Structure 1
Amino acid sequence: MPTARPDSETSLRYLRQVQFAALGTEGQKRLARARVLVCGCGALGTMVANHLVRAGVGYVRLVDRDLVDLSNLHRQCLFDEQDAHQELPKAVAAAEKLQSINSEVRVEPIVADIRSDTIGALARDIDLLVDGTDNFETRFLLNDYAIREKIPWVFAACLGAQGQVMVILPGETPCLRCLIPTLPPAGAVPTCETAGILGPTVGVVASLEAMEALKILAGRHEAVTRDLIVVNLWPVTLRQISLAGLRDPLCPTCGQGRFEFLEHRRESTSVTLCGRKTVQVTPAEGRCDLDEIYNRWSALGEVERSPYFLRLRTPDWTLTLFPDGRALITGIEDPVLGRTIYARFVGM
């Protein structure tokens, strides 16, 4: 639980941001009462959570299914080598760091997979959803939940030296499916594992995402950016793409009120195969381009190619990917780990 602080100490902590007139004392009080769900504690999630906790957002719930790995450290700012060597859950390691940064706020870590049967409990009593996920299936699920429950959320994504940020205010702005109507097929979108990611890219995108979150939580909706923000840091460009008129009455989510990802109609599955140390992952959208994925995997390790499948071998597991998007991951038994590996190396 947070430790009580004298008012003078609290005032000193937030003095510089309260002096920013657009936020002010009233905005700071709103932040202290706000409750946020950070969905994913990877690169974006840790940096956004860091900003929100330092800013004095009163309650931050962190949800992530993964463990800290050495390959995370160049961009996931709350983790260190000890976290990686201990293989701590990301949500737990992040919460420990954040609570030591600001004991006035409450940080709740939850080690879980965000799915249609868990999102309701994870997002209970929350004022804002913040995107720190690594796949579009989960983002479409968040979009469904946010629109149905009328909760604002901030979408963000980054890859290489590029990133995007978009605020979704239910009933006011286009939703994610107005912008991206259909779920990209498995393997259609490169991932950080296959295309790489630069740490400063995450820093810029996460800062933009956190700034929009603070505007919403402080009750300053008039200042919220209603455009799609697109950044490229190599070379440097920043664009705001107007979304005026994009809100679509035929959008299955915000236009027609169909919540396909929330109601189990469109969801990937991962199951442990009986009698085998193998997890099968079946994506929500089938078919994938094995030639394109082969090119991405070629620099990652030993890749076997046949007319019927691709196979990526690592010291810990072997991933066999079929043209219908289905994958067998041999060497593991945890379905949640199977989804994590699939999202990182194929994409959902």
Structure 2
Amino acid sequence: MHNRYSRQQLFSPIGEKGQQLLQQKHVLIIGVGALGSASAEALVRAGIGKLTIIDRDYVEWSNLQRQQLYTEQDAQEKVPKVIAAKKRLQSINSELEINALILDASTEELQGLLKGVDLMIDATDNFDIRFMMNDIAQKYQIPWIYGSCVGSYGATYTIVPGITPCLHCLLKMMPNTGMTCDTVGIISPAVQIVAAYQVTEAFKILVGDEKARRKTYLTFDAWQNQHYEINVEKMRKEDCPSCGKNPTYPYLSYENQTKSEILCGRDAVQIRPPKPIQYNLGQLAVQLRPYGEIQKNLYLLSLQTPNYRFVIFQDGRVVIHGIQNIQEAKSIYHRLLG
């Protein structure tokens, strides 16, 4: 019919056989913001067989600086990201199947979407979902690729159940800076670097080139010209509750998930983290000051913005006043607190 994949097939690690394999594969991407946009476009151009994309948000003007699938019209009309993404992706490659789902990823919903999925790609903005993905990957033996970026910093790691340490094994190594794109910003090159690594690893897994798979946890700071690779092969733990000999998949249980509820009669949503977080309210006040008026005492911090009031208690519990939509409240929560 045409030779749209000819240059990719000339690359010998893929070749004609690898291209045929790609066209039989199903990839699930959770989140189609910056990382998800870049990864989805690369995979669609490469000719994978089926792509499922999940996101709970809509396109905003601040997305356009780095989220390559969206236009000014999408932002003006507040189009859900997965809808705008699917339209753009199908205009790039009409040959493949794209399943676009507007939803807030939960344990039940994700487990119901796994039939035929060969690989998952992390393009989320919070560790709640990442650890949920990690346990799902281990339970159903599906490889997945972690990725994150903020400022000029990025990190990525490829997880293959039964072979590599999982994200839970690496838990103590994971940074807990509290930084988010909404508090410290982000530059587009950091996104593109992480996505390039993620998609390359995806190709290796999908065509079955296990020898080429990167075995390290990779981090970089593009602005500071820094690049590190950490050998994590010996970090796999036999007693890991997610991937060890007797797994319990703790992040699939209700008690380990972020809880949210509408507070009756108060026009507010309360969000509680899975475990208490002892915030330094002084540091938090500095971090959030650009967003509105701050008030603080020994027990809580209040942030007043033009649209809502954000009250953070020292144990990590948050009440967002002026809102009754749980998904919108969770989106605000993760934007400001990571």
User: 1:182 and 1:146 mapped to 2: Cα distance?
Assistant: 20
User: 1:311 and 1:184 mapped to 2: Cα distance?
Assistant: 26
Choose the corresponding residue for 1:272, options 262, 276, 292.
Answer: 262
Choose the corresponding residue for 1:226, options 190, 212, 215.
Answer: 215
User: 2:81 and 2:155 mapped to 1: Cα distance?
Assistant: 23
Contact preservation (8 Å) 1:137, 1:183: no
Aligned residue in 2 for 1:4: none
Aligned residue in 2 for 1:150: 141
Aligned residue in 2 for 1:174: 165
Instruction: Give 1:205 shift.
Output: 0.7
Task: Give CA deviations for 1:138-162 in whole Å, capped at 9, x if unaligned.
Answer: 1000000000110000001111111
- Structure 2 length as normaliser, TM-score? 0.96
Contact preservation (8 Å) 1:83, 1:93: yes
User: 1:81 and 1:309 mapped to 2: Cα distance?
Assistant: 39
Task: Give CA deviations for 1:286-343 in whole Å, capped at 9, x if unaligned.
Answer: 1222222111112233222222222222222221111111111112111111111111
Instruction: Give 1:120 shift.
Output: 0.7
Aligned residue in 2 for 1:93: 84
| CA distance 1:126–1:67, shift in 2 (3 Å) | same
Secondary structure at 2:169's aligned position in 1?
helix
Secondary structure at 1:98's aligned position in 2?
helix
Identity, in percent, stands at 38
Task: Give CA deviations for 1:14-38 in whole Å, capped at 9, x if unaligned.
Answer: 1111100110011111110100110
Choose the corresponding residue for 1:137, options 125, 128, 133.
Answer: 128
Instruction: Give 1:265 shift.
Output: 3.0
Instruction: Give 1:182 shift.
Output: 9.2
* Residues matched between the structures, number: 336
Structure 1 residue ranges, 4+ long, deviating more than 4 angstroms after superposition = 181-185
Instruction: Give 1:181 shift.
Output: 4.7
Say whether 1:79 aligns with 2:70.
yes
More displaced 10-residue stretch of structure 1: 128-137 or 188-197: 188-197
User: 2:210 and 2:304 mapped to 1: Cα distance?
Assistant: 49
Say whether 1:311 aligns with 2:329.
no
| CA distance 1:183–1:241, shift in 2 (3 Å) | closer
The residue identity in structure 2 corresponding to 1:315 is P
Say whether 1:263 aligns with 2:253.
yes
Instruction: Give 1:113 shift.
Output: 0.9
Say whether 1:214 aligns with 2:213.
no
Task: Give CA deviations for 1:237-279 in whole Å, capped at 9, x if unaligned.
Answer: 2222111211111222111312111122300111111123211
More displaced 10-residue stretch of structure 1: 325-334 or 142-151: 325-334
Aligned residue in 2 for 1:201: 190
User: 2:263 and 2:22 mapped to 1: Cα distance?
Assistant: 47
Aligned residue in 2 for 1:293: 284
User: 1:106 and 1:262 mapped to 2: Cα distance?
Assistant: 29
The residue identity in structure 2 corresponding to 1:35 is H
Q: Which has the higher contact order (CA 8 A, sep 6+)?
A: 1
User: 2:251 and 2:183 mapped to 1: Cα distance?
Assistant: 26
Contact preservation (8 Å) 1:183, 1:285: no
The residue identity in structure 1 corresponding to 2:248 is R
- Structure 1 length as normaliser, TM-score? 0.93
Secondary structure at 1:176's aligned position in 2?
coil
More displaced 10-residue stretch of structure 1: 313-322 or 25-34: 313-322
User: 1:165 and 1:159 mapped to 2: Cα distance?
Assistant: 12
User: 2:175 and 2:217 mapped to 1: Cα distance?
Assistant: 19
User: 2:90 and 2:303 mapped to 1: Cα distance?
Assistant: 39
Instruction: Give 1:344 shift.
Output: 0.7
Aligned residue in 2 for 1:238: 227
Aligned residue in 2 for 1:338: 329
RMSD: 1.6
User: 1:227 and 1:147 mapped to 2: Cα distance?
Assistant: 19
The residue identity in structure 2 corresponding to 1:279 is V
The residue identity in structure 1 corresponding to 2:187 is L
User: 1:330 and 1:98 mapped to 2: Cα distance?
Assistant: 37
User: 2:173 and 2:326 mapped to 1: Cα distance?
Assistant: 25
Contact preservation (8 Å) 1:270, 1:335: yes
The residue identity in structure 1 corresponding to 2:71 is D
Aligned residue in 2 for 1:161: 152
Contact preservation (8 Å) 1:136, 1:184: no
Secondary structure at 1:238's aligned position in 2?
strand
